[in-house]
Every structure is written in structure tokens, then in C-alpha cells.
Amino acid sequence: MTTAGLIRAFPLTPRRSHVPVLVTLGLFLLAFAIGAIRYPNFGTGQVFLDLFIDNAFLIVVAVGMTFVILTGGIDLSVGSVVALSGMLCAVGTMELGLPAFLVIPAVLLVGALFGSAMGYMIHAFQVQPFIATLAGMFLARGLCLTISENQISIENGTFDAIALNALTLPGGLRISYGALIALAVFAVAVYVLQWTRTGRNVYAVGGNEQSAVLMGLPVGRTKIQVYAISGFCSALGGVLFSLYTLSGDPTHAIGMELDAIAAVVIGGTVLTGGSGYVVGTLLGVLVLGVIKTILSFEGTLSSWWTRIAIGVLLFGFIALQRLIGSRRGS
């Protein structure tokens, strides 16, 4: 990557589209600083790393959701696919006795094919993404309950080795392998969206689909690709969630699709598509994570305050997006 390429991707002068991301960054730093001031053990490096450890699966799912929303679509099936992936991991390793290095790639393939099928339906049959992915949500959750209505514990050597060990950093800090996988997915997504033809197609389709068709861009293929990416990320998020809990459960990840959408919107991606950054999505997940961490340190507040805070933030960022859009149009 040349210096000119880096400057084009990350210009020194902030663009108007960067404002929501900068606001999200400022919000995260403010919330973390408030926590560090209020609680003695909050402002430590390990608490910061714990934000990635505890939200690794959400980071991966939200990255996949970013691709979909950038094209102007939506994917309501991600939470159910996360649960289905966890169930498949549990059944494959515990009931079928298959090795983890075979089960995990198979689960990722199932997720990608599931997303591709929804993308094909949306493109070929002109089905609204909301309806197609709603059907996918019910289908995946129903498959979970068909496999088993009860939780299945995972007692597998490979899963235990990955879940119970961590990479030790200088200063005695530790970060889980699941968090490292999430950061790797984030880095790949940044590269794809900023420096590949696929990324340019994603932004073009979300910006104006009719113009993209007239320009000869592969609109249909791009739509199928982004839903395949979302399905793959959901399946990988399910694997990370099963590593986090060492179990598969048909009730896992209920409502995770809403958390993923909230993280993407709080990160500055426009719901109508065409504008947004994966960096903002990562910051959006961290904002949600730091709110939950503050509530856990407080101890006396109900977890429902997290939902209230997310609702307030969503209203604020949607209003900010509308304000930026109206000024851009004037």
C-alpha cells in the first residue's frame, strides 16, 4: 500500500461522513473515562481488553451486518444463525464425536450457504430484505429447537484448549484467542471495504442501486456476497459464542441481531446504505460493552438500563445522520 493510497483511504482532513465515527470514538473515551474515575479498578488495561474478550462474538456478527447495511439491506437472522452454529458445534463434537477441526469449517460453510440463499432470494425474487431475513430467522431458530430443546455442554479438548487459554501480553495482561479472531475478522473487513473491488461495489450498490446497474456493476452478485459474508460472520460468531459458554443452546443469542444493528448504527453507518465504516462498528460494539461494564461495576442497577442507554444513543445517532444528510443535500 503506497502513501498516496493510505491518504486516500484515511485523509488527513476529516470528511463529513467521518463525523459520526468521531462522535462514537469521543463517546467511548468519555464513558471509559467516567468509569475509570468512578471505580478504582475500572481504568486498567485488562478491563479494556475484557471489552474485546466479552464481545468478540458480537464484533464478528456486527462486522457482517455492516456489509449488509452498507448495501441498504438488513439481516434479522444473525442471532438465530449464531444459536444454530452453537448447536451444530455441540452436536458435532459431543453426539457425533467428530473432531473440532472438521466441525468448525462445516459450521462456517453452513452459515455462508444460509446467507447466500437469503441473498439469492432477495435478488432473484425481489423480496424485501426484512421479509427474507425474517424467514431466515424463524427457520434457523426452528432448526435449533429441532436439534434439541435443551442445552448441550461442550466437553471437547480442542474447544477447551481455545476457550480456557489466552495470549499473555506484557504487564501480565491477557487476551483470549476468540478476541484475537474477532480482531482478525475486523482487519480483513477493513481491507475488503477500503481496498478491493468488492468493497467499492458494496458502497456503490448502497449509494444508488440504479446507478450501479447503469455502470455495469454486478449488483446481484454483490448482494449475494454481502449476505454470504453476514452468514459466515454469524456462524463464526456462533463458534466464538460456543467457545465463550462451552455449550450450545437453542435460546442463545436471542436479540443479538438488534445489538448488532445498534452497534452498526451507533458506529455511524447509515441504514439506507452507501456510507459507513467498519471502524465505527467496532467502536459501536465497544460503546455497548463499556455501558454493560459500568453497570456491572455499579452492581445496583438493573441490566435493563443498558437497553435504555442503547435506545437513547440510537435516537441521537439517527438524528445526527439526518442532520448530516440534510446539510449534504443543501
Asked whether the predicted pLDDT for residue 326 surpasses 80, the reply is: no
Please choose, from the candidates 110, 128, 101, the residue with its C-alpha nearest in 3D space to the C-alpha of residue 238: 110
Compute the CA torsion angle 94, 253, 265, 292 (nearest 10 deg).
-110
- pLDDT attached to residue 298: 82
- pLDDT attached to residue 118: 98
Q: How far apart, in whole angstroms, are the C-alpha atoms of residue 16 and residue 250?
A: 43
> Alpha-carbon torsion 96, 102, 104, 108, what sign?
negative
Average pLDDT over residues 167-190: 96
Average pLDDT over residues 236-245: 97
- pLDDT attached to residue 322: 73
CATH of domain 18-323: 1.10.3470
Cell numbers 460456543 correspond to: 242
Average pLDDT over residues 186-196: 97
Q: Give the whole-number percent of the chain exceeding pLDDT 90.
A: 80
C-alpha separations of 104 from 75, 107, 184, 238, 309 in Å: 22, 5, 17, 10, 35
Label residue 305 by pLDDT band (50, 70, 90): confident
Instruction: Specify the range with the lowest mean pLDDT, choosing from 81-85, 116-120, 268-272.
Output: 268-272
- pLDDT attached to residue 14: 57
**What pLDDT, in 10s, does the model give residues 10-56?**
444 456 778 889 999 999 999 999 999 999 889 999 999 999 999 99
Average pLDDT over residues 94-113: 97
Record the pTM: 0.93
Asked whether the predicted pLDDT for residue 8 surpasses 50, the reply is: no
Asked whether the predicted pLDDT for residue 249 surpasses 90, the reply is: yes
Average pLDDT over residues 248-272: 94
Asked whether the predicted pLDDT for residue 6 surpasses 80, the reply is: no
Higher-pLDDT residue of 315 and 80 is 80
| Helix runs in 39-176, H state only | 45-54, 56-70, 78-90, 100-124, 129-147, 157-164
Q: Mean pLDDT of all residues in the chain?
A: 91
Whether the CB-CB separation of 281 and 63 falls below 8 Å is answered with yes
